Chains A and B, each alone.
Chain A
Amino acid sequence: MLRALIAVLLVVSVAACGGGEGFDKPEASSAASPAQGGELRVLAASSGNVETEALQNAFKAFEATGKGKVKLEIATDLTTQLTTALAGGNPPDLFYVPVENVRDLVKAGALEPYGDKAGIEVYPALKEAFTVDGAYYCVPKDFSTLALAVNTSMVSSPPTTWEELKAEVRKHEVGLTIAPELVRVLVFMQQAGGFVLSDDLKQATGDTPQNRQGLAFLRELGAKTPKQLGAGWAGEAFGKGKAAMTIEGNWMLGAMKKDFPDLKWQAVELPAGPAGKGTLAFTVCWGMAAASKNKELALELVKFLMSDEQQLALTRGFGPMPATPRLRDKWLEAYPDAKAFIAGAEYAKTPLWPAGFKPVIDETNTEIDKLLQGSAKPEQVLQAFDEAAKGVLE
């Protein structure tokens, strides 16, 4: 019960003890030459054995080039572990940075802006996602998009428009299950031509007719939350056949194969709304610690990991797609089922949030849960978002 308090206290004390060493002389350490054979520490999160093994193999291959050694740590809770490591002043050299965290880390001065130095070709939208105030901070390692997962033994022809989706949902007891989260239901607002933030991330645009239309449509669908169906997440509810369809990302490919190998399902592009198609993209980059003592070697490692060969090896078996556009067809050869996800890349929008936006998302998710449970109206959700966002954006 005391754990939360103790965790905070420990962070504070770790920070206090480490502060003296790590932060007083960052210049001196970065000036030191990256000795051949140095050791890099990498902190990664893993979706499972497949991803862990892929990472281990990649690092072994890097070590075989004789440039240096790599020590991999798989985080059980990436955010917490990264926070403690950064506060302690002795962070790992490279670590996963999900796009929703990048602006917080930049604001804290934790990231080294090395993106341009790496010179790796990625989708422009992904590069933009990791560019803050003109500086390209880190190279996206891969990305995912959202698609409609359809249980093919329950649905004969997958819907392609809102009308078809509505008609299909009516045929089932539970047609659609969706996580009560902004970064899922946003797709309906996009398909109606809306979004909740202006492109410069300075203005909240929650309560607009388009967004209202998107949420009103979602409400008409009568979608259930995974919890209402007794599942931990939407993929589980879908895999157990409790809903005919769900909206999730590339990770469905790995997860369904692992947990529900007999399930007959298919991923299709999200049905188009009145303003056409719309989906969200999620991406994670190789963040380099500003306090790293081995930046050149770390850069070498990123270049190695982003080579065509390694990117293909690292995106095999658990879902996400290579960040480099020219690998698209080669990747698709190995993954014919993933066509819908890669098609979404054409028009996907990466949801970017300004620093300190997490509480706004949490609050909005609460309202979205109310919407899905029938105790809030679309405009209430959107107004709650605007009100909460105002506090952070000012």
Chain B
Amino acid sequence: MTGSAVPGDPGMAASPEAGRGRSPAAGGGKSPVSGRGKGRARGPGIRGREGLWGWLFMAPALVILGLFMVIPILLALWVSFRSWSGLESPFGPGSQPVGLDNYAELLVEPGLAQRDFARGLRNNLYYVLGVVPVQTAIAFFLALVLHQKVLRARGFFRSAFYFPSITSSVAVALVFMAIFQPNGVLNRTLEFFGLDGSVWLDDPRGLVHIVLGWFGVSEAPGFLQGRFMGLSWWDWLSGPSVTLTAIMAIAVWTTIGTFMLMFLAGLQNLPRDVDEAAVVDGANRWQLFWRITLPQMRPTLFLVLTLGIIGTWQVFDQIFVISDGGPQKTSLTPAYLVYVFGFETRQMGLACAVAFLLFLVIVLFTLLQRRLLRER
């Protein structure tokens, strides 16, 4: 991904073949080492041993990845087709194959699991739709500001904007909890301006419901009474709850620094002469941004959006620290549901099934986003 984000870097453009031939020479072009290196690359017999060495050098990484990533993922996939409490060996008699039952329980069978999963999807969908565009836009804007040559104290601002990203998300969550307290800074500030605050972290009302309430719609109208996955259409369309919105604000605040840095790196790699040519052709600043800068930033934009979508669909720590999925399950997310099913209600099979459905959702969203950003 860095390769596409940094098109100017000549090293990344080289093929692996060329890379291998060149690296021994990097020490000094005329040294005997480089000569021997080139000789080796030609002899097929010696090449075979090179492969062996390659595997040997890769072995630590492969073993670690295999042990802690590949095997657990495969096992989790296997567990998602079983009924297992997590309290005994998964290979023991307490673990029974149930085929697709776990998936069915989440998707089609009416019940608590289905309703909770539906709530999780709904909440997280609002979360993604709220967080990703906002954090991308703000991060891009900040990067553009920092990219200005005339700006003073650039280093200071760069550190300041990046600071939230390197702070522990739990610590950030705790600070924001203090801000959102009923007697906290936010409510006091609103009071000062004569506005009413809220119990931000315990307010289950959906934003869309609140807005509809202003127009006198406080109950589900008849045509929204129907249900999908155990949740009425009215509930699907609730919008994020006030509490979830507060958590979204925290997420935006924490992540913009990282994405700003990616945009900044992208901007710094854009060739200046293109800009200059455009200015000579009579483009104003607005046109310069929309017609010249933005299209060139497509690879970085793709990277930021992809990382944003993956990150937001997996939101867990803020929920765990701040709301435990509440109030009234309006901040329940699939990732948090994995924890609830796995450790609280002891349905490991169900937990793994949620994890894989979440994986599918993320793949789906990433593909969709790729299509939308495709060069035409």
- Which A residues fall within an 8 A CB radius of B? 1-5, 7-13, 15-16, 18-19, 22-23, 79-80, 83, 86-87, 89, 104-105, 107-110, 225, 227-230, 356, 358-360, 362-363, 366, 369-370, 373, 375, 388, 391
CB <8 Å contact, A12 and B76: yes
CB-CB under 8 A from A229, the residues of chain B are 182
CB <8 Å contact, A360 and B112: yes
- How many angstroms between the C-alpha atoms of A373 and B351 in the bound complex? 31
CB <8 Å contact, B79 and A110: no
- How many angstroms between the C-alpha atoms of A107 and B352 in the bound complex? 21
Contact with A along B245-277 (1 / 0, CB 8 A): 000000000000000000000000000000000
* Consensus secondary structure, chain A interface: helix
CB <8 Å contact, B204 and A373: yes
Within 8 Å by CB of A15, from B89, B327, B355, lies B89
- Which B residues fall within an 8 A CB radius of A? 67-68, 71-73, 75-76, 79, 85-92, 94, 111-113, 116, 181-184, 199, 201-202, 204, 311, 314-317, 320, 326-329, 335-336, 338-340, 342-348, 351-352, 355, 358
- How many angstroms between the C-alpha atoms of A228 and B204 in the bound complex? 11
A79 nearest CB neighbor, chain B only? B343
* Best-surrounded residue of A9, A12, A79, A109 (most CB of chain B within 10 A): A12
CB-CB under 8 A from B184, the residues of chain A are 230
CB <8 Å contact, A87 and B90: yes
CB <8 Å contact, B71 and A16: yes
CB <8 Å contact, B338 and A4: yes
CB <8 Å contact, A4 and B76: no
CB <8 Å contact, A105 and B338: no
A389 nearest CB neighbor, chain B only? B112
CB <8 Å contact, B339 and A359: no
CB <8 Å contact, B89 and A7: no
- How many angstroms between the C-alpha atoms of A11 and B84 in the bound complex? 12
- How many angstroms between the C-alpha atoms of A388 and B88 in the bound complex? 26
Q: A12-B76, A83-B346 are in contact. Are A22 and B89 (CB under 8 A)?
A: yes
- How many angstroms between the C-alpha atoms of A18 and B335 in the bound complex? 26
CB <8 Å contact, B314 and A1: yes
Give me the 5 closest cross-chain CB pairs, A-B, nearest first: A108-B87, A227-B202, A19-B89, A9-B72, A230-B182
- How many angstroms between the C-alpha atoms of A322 and B87 in the bound complex? 29
Contacts A7-B343, A16-B90, A360-B112 supplied; 17 other A-B pairs, CB < 8 Å? A1-B314, A4-B320, A5-B355, A8-B339, A8-B355, A16-B71, A16-B91, A83-B342, A227-B201, A228-B182, A359-B116, A359-B345, A362-B344, A362-B345, A363-B112, A369-B326, A370-B328
CB <8 Å contact, B112 and A4: no
Within 8 Å by CB of A227, from B92, B199, B347, lies B199
CB <8 Å contact, A10 and B72: yes
CB-CB under 8 A from B91, the residues of chain A are 16, 19, 23
CB <8 Å contact, A108 and B112: no
Q: A83-B87, A86-B87, A363-B112 are in contact. Are A7 and B311 (CB under 8 A)?
A: no
CB <8 Å contact, A4 and B92: no
CB <8 Å contact, B345 and A358: yes
7 contacts across the A-B interface (CB closer than 8 A): A8-B339, A15-B90, A19-B89, A23-B89, A86-B87, A356-B345, A366-B328
CB <8 Å contact, A87 and B88: yes
B119 nearest CB neighbor, chain A only? A366
A2 nearest CB neighbor, chain B only? B314
Closest chain-B Cβ to A185's Cβ sits at a distance in Å of 15
CB <8 Å contact, A110 and B316: no
B85 nearest CB neighbor, chain A only? A108
Q: A5-B338, A12-B76, A360-B112 are in contact. Are A83 and B86 (CB under 8 A)?
A: yes
* Best-surrounded residue of A3, A15, A110, A360 (most CB of chain B within 10 A): A15
B88 nearest CB neighbor, chain A only? A108
CB <8 Å contact, A12 and B343: no
CB-CB under 8 A from A388, the residues of chain B are 112
Closest chain-A Cβ to B116's Cβ sits at a distance in Å of 8
Within 8 Å by CB of A230, from B181, B204, B346, B358, lies B181
Within 8 Å by CB of A11, from B116, B201, B336, B342, lies B342
CB <8 Å contact, B90 and A4: no
CB <8 Å contact, A8 and B112: no
Q: A8-B351, A109-B88, A360-B112 are in contact. Are A83 and B183 (CB under 8 A)?
A: no
CB-CB under 8 A from B94, the residues of chain A are 108-109
* Best-surrounded residue of A1, A11, A363 (most CB of chain B within 10 A): A1
* Best-surrounded residue of B87, B94, B345 (most CB of chain A within 10 A): B87
- How many angstroms between the C-alpha atoms of A22 and B355 in the bound complex? 27
Within 8 Å by CB of B202, from A23, A89, A228, A360, lies A228
Within 8 Å by CB of A18, from B67, B89, B326, B345, lies B89
CB-CB under 8 A from B89, the residues of chain A are 15, 18-19, 22-23, 87, 89
- How many angstroms between the C-alpha atoms of A188 and B315 in the bound complex? 38
CB-CB under 8 A from A105, the residues of chain B are 87
CB <8 Å contact, A225 and B202: yes
